[in-house]
Amino acid sequence: MNDDRLHTFRGWLDGGEPSRFAPFFASRVMQRIEAEGSRNGLESIDAALRWGFLRVATAAVVLAIAVGAYNVMEPGNLGVYTSTLESVLGLPSQSLETLFLLSGA
Partner 1 sequence: MQGPTSERKRAAAQPTDEELLDAARRGDDAAFRQLVERYEGRVAATVIGMLGNGEEAEDAGQETFIRFYRSLDRFRGESSIATYLTRIAINQSLDAIKRRRRWTKRFVSRDEEEVVLAEPMYDATEEISARERAELVRGAIQTLKADHRSVVVLRMIEGYSTRETAEILGLPVGTVTSRLSRALDKLESVLDPLVREA
Contacts with partner 1 by CB under 8 A lie at 1-2, 5-6, 8-10, 12-22, 25-26, 28-30, 32-34, 36
Whose Cβ is closer to partner 1: residue 39's or residue 50's? 39
Whose Cβ is closer to partner 1: residue 12's or residue 104's? 12
Among residues 100, 78, 102, the alpha carbon closest in space to that of 90 is found at 78
Whose Cβ is closer to partner 1: residue 33's or residue 96's? 33
**Residue 26: half-sphere exposure toward Cβ, Cα within 13 Å:** 0
| Positive/negative CA dihedral, 13, 16, 18, 20 | negative
Among residues 61, 62, 93, the alpha carbon closest in space to that of 80 is found at 93
Residue 25 CB, nearest approach to partner 1 (Å): 5
Residue 32 CB, nearest approach to partner 1 (Å): 6
Residue 14 CB, nearest approach to partner 1 (Å): 7
Among residues 61, 91, 59, the alpha carbon closest in space to that of 77 is found at 91
Residue 28 CB, nearest approach to partner 1 (Å): 6
